[in-house]
């Protein structure tokens, strides 16, 4: 047998379905379930693995405070390991992976998020194959933040959870998968995006006073005044189609412009999952541009929200936030 050097991998556990067991009121995550430890012991034949539980939460309870904890633990581990795997609940994994993408600037090693749709204690669980996929991403040095699920590798700031029950729970939206595993091996995509700098930096300051509003026909314009009154510092709007909002009967443009004029960035995206928004196509979109709102183009909603939170953690200037949205930090947008 040929000699090979085992990759050193830190596994940071945060809870989620992968480590859950049945409790009196439903599934509850465990710090170190025996089945997970057995699986990691098997993988220890191929990788030098260290396991550390940093959280023990259902991902619905993972919020900005936990994002900072996760980012700090990853950053601390990077010098001593070839890569980091974060086990995480699937429900908010896309938000966490996207935020970590922005917090860890110029990431030069693999950081891979994974989890499962069924707990690892079940014989039908997808946990072991997802863990194997995550570890293989480190083996192949897929740098940056990635979600590994159902034998696919997706950029963390492009992945969206699209299914609640199916094993193919995540999809890479408006961007190719970074890689995919088949019976004859892995197929990696040659990516054009390159980090903007040479040194990995932790920039974990964020602002969680952000509101996401999905417009419906008939949305009351007063909601925008309420948001300003509640001291929100940024708003993401999911608008219609390629980009439009209504102004007949209920004028939404005027209160949006008031927000922008008061220094509160308003980021506009489409409710459609695929393809970019283009607010220049129709009158109802051009009126949005005229308010001074920021277009997010083909970014996912998760990426638009986390990028705005992160941007407002770096600066209080609305103009600087606009310039940050005009910058591709980690492959989150196509210009």
Tell me which residue has tokens 């991902």: 59
Helix (H) or strand (E) holding 303: helix 301-314
302, 295 contact by CB (below 8 A): no
At 23, the pLDDT band (50, 70, 90 cuts) reads: confident
Predicted local distance difference test score (pLDDT) of residue 100: 98
118, 17 contact by CB (below 8 A): yes
Residue 219, classed as helix, strand or coil, is coil
Closest CA to 240 of 273, 271, 281: 271
* Co-location of 123 and 243 in the same domain: no
**What CATH number is given to the structural domain containing 294?**
3.40.50.40
Q: Which domain holds residue 263?
A: 210-325
* Co-location of 186 and 269 in the same domain: no
Predicted confidence (pLDDT) per residue in 34-61, tens digit: 999 999 999 999 999 999 999 999 999 9
Predicted confidence (pLDDT) per residue in 157-186, tens digit: 999 999 999 999 999 999 999 999 999 989
Positions marked active-site:
17
Predicted local distance difference test score (pLDDT) of residue 124: 96
Structurally, the chain folds into a number of domains equal to 2
Mean pLDDT over each residue of the chain, to the nearest integer: 95
Residue 121 lies in a domain: yes
Residue at which a domain ends, from 184, 202, 220: 202
Predicted local distance difference test score (pLDDT) of residue 3: 58
Half-sphere exposure of 310 (CA within 13 A, CB side): 27
Predicted confidence (pLDDT) per residue in 80-98, tens digit: 999 999 999 999 999 999 9
**Diameter of the chain by CA atoms?**
75
Residue at which a domain ends, from 144, 174, 202: 202
Residue at which a domain ends, from 177, 202, 227: 202
Predicted confidence (pLDDT) at residue 128 exceeds the cutoff of 70:
yes
Predicted local distance difference test score (pLDDT) of residue 1: 44
* Co-location of 320 and 289 in the same domain: yes
């Amino acid at each position: 047998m040929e000699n090979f050097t085992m990759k050193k991998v830190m596994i940071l556990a945060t809870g989620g379905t992968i480590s859950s067991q049945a409790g009196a009121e439903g599934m509850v995550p465990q710090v170190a379930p025996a089945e997970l430890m057995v699986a990691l012991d098997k993988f220890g034949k191929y990788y030098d693995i260290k396991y550390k539980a940093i959280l023990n939460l259902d991902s619905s309870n993972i919020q900005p405070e936990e994002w900072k904890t996760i980012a700090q633990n990853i950053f601390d581990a990077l010098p001593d390991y070839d890569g980091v795997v974060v086990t995480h609940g699937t429900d908010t994994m896309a938000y966490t992976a996207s935020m970590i993408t922005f917090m860890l600037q110029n990431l030069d090693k693999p950081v891979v998020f994974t989890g499962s749709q069924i707990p690892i204690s079940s014989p039908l669980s997808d946990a072991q194959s997802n863990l194997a996929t995550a570890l293989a991403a480190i083996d192949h040095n897929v740098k940056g933040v990635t979600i590994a699920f159902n034998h696919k590798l997706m950029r963390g700031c492009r992945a969206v959870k699209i299914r609640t029950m199916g094993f193919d729970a995540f999809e890479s939206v408006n961007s190719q998968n970074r890689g995919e595993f088949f019976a004859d091996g892995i197929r990696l995509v040659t990516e054009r995006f390159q980090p903007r700098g040479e040194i990995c930096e932790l920039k974990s300051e964020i602002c969680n006073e952000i509101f996401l509003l999905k417009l419906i026909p008939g949305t009351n314009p007063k909601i925008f005044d309420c948001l300003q009154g509640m001291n929100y510092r940024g708003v993401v709007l999911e608008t219609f189609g390629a980009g439009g909002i209504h102004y007949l009967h209920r004028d939404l443009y005027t209160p949006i412009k008031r927000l922008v004029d008061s220094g509160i960035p308003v980021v506009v995206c489409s409710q459609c999952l695929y393809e970019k928004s283009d607010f220049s196509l129709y009158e109802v979109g051009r009126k949005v541009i005229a308010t001074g709102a920021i277009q997010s183009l083909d970014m996912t909603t998760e990426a638009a929200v986390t990028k705005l939170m992160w941007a407002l953690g770096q600066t209080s200037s609305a103009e600087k936030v606009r310039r940050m949205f005009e910058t591709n930090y980690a492959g989150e947008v196509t210009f």
